[in-house]
Amino acid sequence: MLKNHFDIVEEGDGAAAIARVKSGLAFHAVLLDVEMPNVNGMEAFHRIAIIAPDLSKRVLFLTGGAKDPVVDAWLKSFDPKRVLRKPISARELRGALERLDQE
């Protein structure tokens, strides 16, 4: 959905995403699925916030609906514009990324 508009780096799970951020590669933003194998989105976000505090302000969360009440409450602690509900259109996703530049 985004490859025609942005340079994309994909990872298959939370642990790999954390390692990628830890590698020092500069990222403009992170799209973080809440439910991922190995390390979930909540834990990945907390680790990213330690490694790259400025980048943590540019994380958008993707969710199909948090099944865990703790995760659901955690998501509600963020600006609703940072929590993107699946299914999501390419237009909505691009718009969310572009809004990060306006903040």
Hey, what domains does the chain have and what are their CATH numbers?
14-100 (3.40.50.2300)
- CA-CA distance, 18 to 51, in Å (whole number)? 9
Per-residue pLDDT of the chain (103 residues; tens, 9 = 90+): 788 888 899 998 999 999 999 999 999 999 999 998 889 999 999 999 999 999 999 999 999 876 788 888 999 999 999 999 999 999 999 999 999 888 7
* β strands within the chain, DSSP E: 30-33, 59-63, 83-85
Specify the 3-state DSSP secondary structure of 63: strand
Burial of 32 (0-12, 13-18, 19+ CB in 10 A): buried
pTM of the predicted model, to two decimals?
0.91
Residues 95, 12, 64, 48, CA torsion sign: negative
